[in-house]
A and B are shown apart, each in its own frame.
Chain A
Amino acid sequence: MVPIEYYIGLSAILFILGALGVLIRRNAIIIFMSVELMLNAANLVFVAFARSFQSLDGQVFVFFVMGVAAAEVAVGLALIVAIFHTKQSIDVDQMHNLGG
Chain B
Amino acid sequence: MIPDIILFILLALVAVLSALGLLLSKNAVYSALNLILNFSAVAVLYLILGAPFIALAQITVYAGAIMVLFLFVIMLLGAERLPSAATLPWQRPLAISSAVLLAVLAIYVIFIRPVTFPGAAPLTPEFGSPFEVGTLLFDKYLLPFEIISVLLLVAMIGVIVLTRRRDRKNRG
Beta-carbon nearest neighbor of A33 in chain B? B35
Beta-carbon nearest neighbor of A71 in chain B? B155
- Is A47 a contact of B49 with CB atoms below 8 Å? yes
- Is B73 a contact of A24 with CB atoms below 8 Å? no
- Is B99 a contact of A19 with CB atoms below 8 Å? yes
Count of B interface residues, CB-CB < 8 Å? 80
Q: Which residues of chain B are within 8 angstroms of A21 by Cβ–Cβ distance?
A: 22-23
Q: Which of A1-46 contact B (CB under 8 A)?
A: 1-10, 12-14, 16-21, 23-27, 29-30, 32-34, 36-37, 40, 43-44
Q: Is the interface of A mostly helix, strand, loop or mixed?
A: helix
| Complex Cα spacing A64 to B143, Å | 12
- Is B84 a contact of A13 with CB atoms below 8 Å? no
Q: In the complex, which of the residues A12, A25, A69 contacts B106, with contact meaning CB atoms closer than 8 Å?
A: A12
- Is B155 a contact of A93 with CB atoms below 8 Å? no
Q: Which residues of A contact B (CB under 8 A)?
A: 1-10, 12-14, 16-21, 23-27, 29-30, 32-34, 36-37, 40, 43-44, 47-54, 56-57, 59-60, 62-64, 66-75, 77-82, 84, 89-91, 93
Q: Which residues of B contact A (CB under 8 A)?
A: 4-5, 8, 12, 15-16, 19-20, 22-23, 28, 31-32, 35, 38-39, 42, 45-46, 48-51, 53-54, 57-58, 61-62, 65-66, 69-70, 73-74, 76-77, 79, 82, 84-85, 87, 91-92, 94-96, 98-99, 102-103, 106-107, 110-111, 114, 117-118, 120-121, 123, 127-128, 132-133, 136-137, 140-141, 144, 148, 151-152, 154-156, 158-159, 162-163
